[in-house]
Amino acid sequence: MLCLVLLYKASQFFVQEQEMKQAKLARYPSAGIDIPSNYLLHGIDISSYQGFIYWHAVKKMKMGDTQVDFVFIKATEGLNSSDKLFQRNWDSLKAEQITKGAYHFFLATKNGKIQARNFIRTVKLQKNDLPPAVDIEHLYGVPPLLMQKRMKECLVALEQYYGVKPVIYTNIAFYNTYLGEEFDSYPLWIANYLQNEKPRIERDWLFWQHSNEGHVNGIRTKVDFNVFYSDSTAFKKILIP
């Protein structure tokens, strides 16, 4: 039995080493997408789907006047699941001094407070980190009012613990149909693709995910690209104090 465990660990280490080598070799002449003009701060969001990332190459990449200024990482999902590469990515971003944030993938079928506890157990936010974010995209058959109740419980618990309002991530259709005025007081990270200058939503927003087709050095897969709504002064104000 011990031999099998050691063999498995050795095979996993070999796979990880190969993935890291491939990440180091991932080089692109540009992002491969149209990047919205008139925005000063650009970022990406990732999860274990992207595999092992060579963050040094990410930081060094220049796309004209654009670079990766911030990164959101998937940390948790539901009641007790955590992203298998979260801690590695989190520590690597800190070492590279790239502004980092973490998000929770919200399941409307589960208790909101317990989902918040899952995130809190996993993510130790520090000064100059981005506020916590909650990704909600599906009802999974749950009545909208129940989803809203659970979502509010999650957001309130996160705000009480971290001392800042969490950011809501979603797409325009979901926000307008199921969230709307009930959640207008929360900072918004909105997904809206195929737009040139801004997302097609009436309310104010903090981050705009404008593409899921981008390329960044050090990452083998396609990556979501985002912009921040304003300048570096406004950006600093939203960070954990």
| C-alpha–C-alpha distance, residues 52 and 92, integer Å | 11
Choose, from 96, 137, 153, 213, the residue flagged as catalytic: 137
96 a catalytic residue: no
Place of tokens 């993510």: 123
210 phi, psi to nearest 5 deg: -100, -10
Radius of gyration of the chain (CA): 18
Among residues 91, 56, 40, 36, the alpha carbon closest in space to that of 216 is found at: 56
CA quadruple 136, 142, 145, 146: dihedral sign? negative
Q: Cβ–Cβ contacts within 10 Å for residue 223, how many?
A: 25
71 phi, psi to nearest 5 deg: -140, 130
Going by C-beta distance under 8 Å and a sequence separation of 6 or more, which residues neighbour residue 202?
A: none
Q: Amino acid letter at 179? A: L
| C-alpha–C-alpha distance, residues 119 and 154, integer Å | 10
Choose, from 45, 69, 83, 135, the residue flagged as catalytic: 45
224 a catalytic residue: no
Give bridge partners of residue 77 from the DSSP assignment: 81, 105
| C-alpha–C-alpha distance, residues 148 and 21, integer Å | 44
Give me the active site residues, please. 45, 137
